């Protein structure tokens, strides 16, 4: 694996619960155990991004890189290269790596110059998924099932334990079956996969060979490779691995890392659970692409979420991860915007993108605790302004105090992950209360019992020999370079969760071509299903309010991609004089509510539930309607009519008090009954 931020941990069985050595910080906190010991080691940085002010002196603007180099020297840092990223922004390669805190201090000194708008470290980015070697069964795509269905599972034989079946309710599934009745995706919708690159696969572009590794055919459009030859300021070709840096070939040559690679502090990022051993290629980009758009109804393999959408492969990650500056350029190009970074021979200027993406999936990010950089934020803002939805994974460190960039940037759909039963996944990052919260949760796989202490999680499947339920998708074979056969691999992580959200965003864009990024995000958020009772993200539980709007639901999201859809209208009621009436509406996609009485808006009645004041006889046959709206339009509910009677209503829907004469009669009867009982007992 190439600098994966954190490989998802397997939950400990009860016998091992006395030690937190294998737990994430999330698990340890929930089990009341001390936090796992982590080596205190800062991320190493090899480059800075420096942007000059637009109002800077003409001399400073004209000098460009030379001015930045002189500033760097005055800041006390050696520079081995300055490369223009845009007319006013430079990539500054340092003489040697420094810690993140040192790099931030240098950046602060640079930013103190009145000609500098900002300066920041060019941090490392890495993919977020944990690969497995479990064989694929056609029935294993539980993550696409209706949530009320039962996943049949398969037989697992843990070491030293009897065989058992893994069948389970798919409460955390994304509900695609009914969604496909409306749309299976349009070939006019393009999804950019900003990742490790892509390889041919019969379930994506119809190719069954790896010569060449990538062919722009079938579902694949002509993409681009943004991995700079000297990315992360490592020796040339270390990260890119293809010998030529940036070019028009986004093929994934493999991102395997050796122990020698990891010995370099700019490659070994010391994230939890990563270790220092050699790791095979991840094929992360191909896996993400298959989750989004693998071909369906071809009697082979798996089904993607958008069967007909097109994939724009944009390579920004390689061995040891990738540079934030390369990821930012990849985002801009994906959205159809101009990339002005100066090429380093043999690289050439980046051409225009002929197929701008309306959905941009970023399955990678930096470490928890590293804020969204200005460079990333600028690229994301520009992409969204250009009409692209940006989706990013929250990260796999199991953090409860932060999510990774770019998921923590503004204008991003940030995705955390849950297991098959809707339980928050052990590995998935969330933030502390008041922090930058994720937008939505999607199925990321893993053991349903992986959090151990959750009453809502099954207890019989936590053991170190089995990692849980995976998200299956398209990959080649091979631990180094891509090899045949082209196959399918199960993974779990926030990256496959984010890929599912990107796929649903593509379905919405297919069904409603005019939908804006804000409307697509709103449809996904307002249609989310609530987390199952007793799971950690449910109301009143440990992570309530910190796991996003709920669980991804494709069918409901498509329903929400339009004016609000009334699911349960307010019901007519009968109440007595002096009583009150309560009305509730359930509508998918509703953002605002306004209750109306006989055509007149009721002040302050702006929620899904409304209770009247005490009703008089003159309120008989009054009609109540609720008007709902979202960015797509408005909807009104059917009218609910109140019947007001002079006697108590025998209706559970109404409220009110008994008339005085009935209270007097009832009191007399009760008193007489008590007297008779007392007489018999004497």
Rounded CA-CA distance 230/246 in Å is 10
Rounded CA-CA distance 54/655 in Å is 66
- DSSP state at residue 16: G
Question: What's the distance, Cα to Cα, between the start and end of the chain in Å?
Answer: 86
Report the candidate in 193, 103, 615, 211 with the shortest Cα–Cα distance to residue 391: 193
Rounded CA-CA distance 571/112 in Å is 64
b/e map 45-67, b = 16+ CB within 10 Å: bbbbbbbbeeebeeebbebbbeb
How many residues make up the chain in this entry?
682
Rounded CA-CA distance 54/567 in Å is 52
What sign results for the dihedral spanned by CA atoms 549, 553, 555, 561?
Answer: positive
- Phi/psi at 80 (5° precision): -105, -5
Rounded CA-CA distance 516/385 in Å is 10
What sign results for the dihedral spanned by CA atoms 345, 349, 354, 357?
Answer: positive
Catalytic residue from among 113, 122, 195, 326 = 195
Catalytic residue from among 91, 284, 287, 418 = 284
Which tokens is 238 given? Answer: 């270390």
Residue 495 annotated to the active site: yes
Q: How many helices (H) and strands (E) does the chain have?
A: 13, 31
The answer, yes or no, to whether the previous bond of 212 is cis (omega within 30 of 0) is: yes
From the number of C-beta atoms within 10 Å of its C-beta (0-12, 13-18, 19+), residue 631 rates as: middle
Please say whether the beta carbons of 582 and 610 come within 8 A. Answer: yes
Cβ neighbours, 10 Å, residue 609: 13
3-class DSSP string for 381-393: HHHHHCCCEEEEE
Report the candidate in 495, 435, 543 with the shortest Cα–Cα distance to residue 7: 495
Provide the H-helix boundaries in 412-567: 494-511, 517-526, 554-560
Please say whether the beta carbons of 454 and 535 come within 8 A. Answer: yes
Cβ neighbours, 10 Å, residue 394: 35
Residue 651 annotated to the active site: no
Q: Which residue has the tokens 């669980």?
A: 551
Cβ neighbours, 10 Å, residue 351: 11
Please say whether the beta carbons of 453 and 31 come within 8 A. Answer: yes
Rounded CA-CA distance 272/330 in Å is 27
Catalytic residue from among 2, 288, 441, 495 = 495
Please say whether the beta carbons of 85 and 329 come within 8 A. Answer: yes
Please say whether the beta carbons of 88 and 109 come within 8 A. Answer: no
Rounded CA-CA distance 328/348 in Å is 18
Which tokens is 265 given? Answer: 């502090």
Rounded CA-CA distance 380/506 in Å is 18
b/e map 88-98, b = 16+ CB within 10 Å: bbbbbbbeebb
Segment (H or E) for 560: helix 554-560
* Residues forming the active site: 195, 284, 495
């Amino acid at each position: 694996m190439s600098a994966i931020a954190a490989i998802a941990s397997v939950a400990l069985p009860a016998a091992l619960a006395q030690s937190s050595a294998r737990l994430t910080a999330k698990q340890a906190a929930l089990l009341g155990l001390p936090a796992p010991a982590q080596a205190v080691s800062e991320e190493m940085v090899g480059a800075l991004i420096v942007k000059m002010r637009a109002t800077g002196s003409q001399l400073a603007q004209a000098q460009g890189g030379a001015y930045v180099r002189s500033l760097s020297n005055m800041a006390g840092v050696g520079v081995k290269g300055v490369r223009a990223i845009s007319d006013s922004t430079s990539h500054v390669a340092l003489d040697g790596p420094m810690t993140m805190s040192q790099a931030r201090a240098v950046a602060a000194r640079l930013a103190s110059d009145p000609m500098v708008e900002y300066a920041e470290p060019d941090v490392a980015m890495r993919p977020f998924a944990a690969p497995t070697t479990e064989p694929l069964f056609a029935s294993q795509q539980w993550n696409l099932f209706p949530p009320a269905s039962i996943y049949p599972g398969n037989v697992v034989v843990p070491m030293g334990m009897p065989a058992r079946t893994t069948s389970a309710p798919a409460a955390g599934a994304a509900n695609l079956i009914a969604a496909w009745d409306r749309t299976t995706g349009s070939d006019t919708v393009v999804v950019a996969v900003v990742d490790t690159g892509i390889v041919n696969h019969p379930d994506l572009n119809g190719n069954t060979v790896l010569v060449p590794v990538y062919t722009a055919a079938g579902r694949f459009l002509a993409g681009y490779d943004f991995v700079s030859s000297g990315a992360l300021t490592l020796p040339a070709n270390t990260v890119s691995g293809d010998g030529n840096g940036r070019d028009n070939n986004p093929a994934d040559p493999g991102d395997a890392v050796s122990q020698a690679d990891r010995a370099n502090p700019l490659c070994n990022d010391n994230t939890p659970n990563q270790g220092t051993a050699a790791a095979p290629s991840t094929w992360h980009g191909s896996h993400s692409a298959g989750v989004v758009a693998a071909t369906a109804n071809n009697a082979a393999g798996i089904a993607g979420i958008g069967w007909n959408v097109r994939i724009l492969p944009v390579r920004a990650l390689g061995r040891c991860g990738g540079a934030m500056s390369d990821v930012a350029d990849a985002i801009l190009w994906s959205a159809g915007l101009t990339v002005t970074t100066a090429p380093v021979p043999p690289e050439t200027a980046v051409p225009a993108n002929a197929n701008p993406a309306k959905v941009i999936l970023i399955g990678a990010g930096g470490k928890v605790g590293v804020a969204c950089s200005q460079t990333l934020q600028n690229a994301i803002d520009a992409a969204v302004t250009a009409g692209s939805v940006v989706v990013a994974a929250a990260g796999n460190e199991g953090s409860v105090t932060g999510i990774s960039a770019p998921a923590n940037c503004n204008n991003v759909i940030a995705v955390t992950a849950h297991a098959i039963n809707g339980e928050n996944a052990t590995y998935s990052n969330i933030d502390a209360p008041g922090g930058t919260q994720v937008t939505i949760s999607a199925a990321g796989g893993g053991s349903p019992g992986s959090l151990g202490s959750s009453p809502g999680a099954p207890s019989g499947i936590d053991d170190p020999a089995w990692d849980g339920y995976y998200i299956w998708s398209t990959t080649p074979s091979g631990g180094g370079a891509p090899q045949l056969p082209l196959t399918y691999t199960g993974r779990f992580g926030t990256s496959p969760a984010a890929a599912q959200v990107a796929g649903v965003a593509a379905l919405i864009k297919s069904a409603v071509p005019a939908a804006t990024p804000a409307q697509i995000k709103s449809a996904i958020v307002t249609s989310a299903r609530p987390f199952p009772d007793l799971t950690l993200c449910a109301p009143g539980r440990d992570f309530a309010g910190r796991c996003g709007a709920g669980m991804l639901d494709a069918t409901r999201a498509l329903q929400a991609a339009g004016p609000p859809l009334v699911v349960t209208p307010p019901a007519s009621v009968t109440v007595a004089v002096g009583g009150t009436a309560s009305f509730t509406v359930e509508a998918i996609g509703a953002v605002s509510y306004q209750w109306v009485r006989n055509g007149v808006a009721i002040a302050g009645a702006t929620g899904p539930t409304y209770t009247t004041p005490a009703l008089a006889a003159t309120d008989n046959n009054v009609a109540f309607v609720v008007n709902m709206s979202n960015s797509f339009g408005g909807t009104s509910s059917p009218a609910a009519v109140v019947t007001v009677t002079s006697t108590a209503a025998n209706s559970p829907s109404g409220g009110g008090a008994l008339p005085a004469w009935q209270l007097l009669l009832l009191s007399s009867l009760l008193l007489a009954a008590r007297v008779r009982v007392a007489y018999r007992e004497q």
